[in-house]
Amino acid sequence: MRFTARVEVRLRAGIADPEGATIERALPALGFGDVEGVRAGKLFRFSVEADDPATAAARAGELAHRLLANPVIEESSVEVEHEEPEGR
Amino acid sequence: MRFTARVEVRLRAGIADPEGATIERALPALGFGDVEGVRAGKLFRFSVEADDPATAAARAGELAHRLLANPVIEESSVEVEHEEPEGR
């Protein structure tokens, strides 16, 4: 069965986020004074072939840990969903 | 009330994704032959001050459209959630 996996990669709390800080600095001048605490992260989507959702999630987590996130400064979370046979 | 907004920014279908393609090329050699179709995107989280969830979502969507995504090649989606008063 094919599963669609979504991996979110976020900087750990306390790790400096220059991209988020730069966006946040621009906000008041652009009329977004109601927005604060901007944190930037990454999102990966891919398709995994596995027998069941638990195996697909484990494979996606392994990939996230080995390739997509730097575990020293980033944390990741994984969601998997069964792909519809006829595509979406 | 404060809301936590999550904005996902994804490349539109058909737009070349060099980051995803590079990851995908590395996968077979790393033992991830069961993974394909890697697409890389961005994820932003921030806090919005608004009277209700609909207003918060509208503000987050405006910010996504004006600052976070390039609407020519990217699409974005927004989710908002009420922030717990005592932090989480």
ipTM confidence score = 0.86
* A65 within a domain of the structure (yes/no): yes
Picking from B27, B34, B67, the nearest residue to A50 by CB comes out as B34
The b-or-e profile of B15-43 (16+ CB within 10 A means b, else e) is: eebeebeebbeebeeeebebbeebbbbbb
CATH number, residue B35: 3.30.1280.10
* Tens-binned pLDDT, residue by residue, of chain B (88 aa): 999 999 999 999 999 999 999 999 999 999 999 999 999 999 999 999 999 999 999 999 999 999 999 999 999 999 999 988 764 4
Closest-CA residue to A14 (of A73, A65, A80, A77) = A73
Closest residue in chain A to residue B46, using alpha carbons only = A38
CA distance A47 to chain B (A): 5
Assigned domain for B11 exists: yes
* Cα of A50 to nearest chain B Cα, Å: 8
Domain that holds residue A30: 2-82
Distances (CA, A) of A28 to A34, B6, B51: 8, 19, 19
* Inter-chain touch B67–A40, beta carbons under 8 Å: no
Q: Please say whether the beta carbons of B5 and B45 come within 8 A.
A: yes
* Number of domains chain B is built from: 1
B1 is written with which tokens? 């009330």
In a domain, A50, yes or no: yes
Give every strand in the sheet of A2-11, ordered side by side. A74-82, A2-11, A35-49, B35-49, B2-11, B74-82
By DSSP bridging, strand B2-11 and strand B74-82 are antiparallel
Give B26's contacts in chain A (Cβ within 8 Å).
67
| Cross-strand partners of B9 | B42, B76
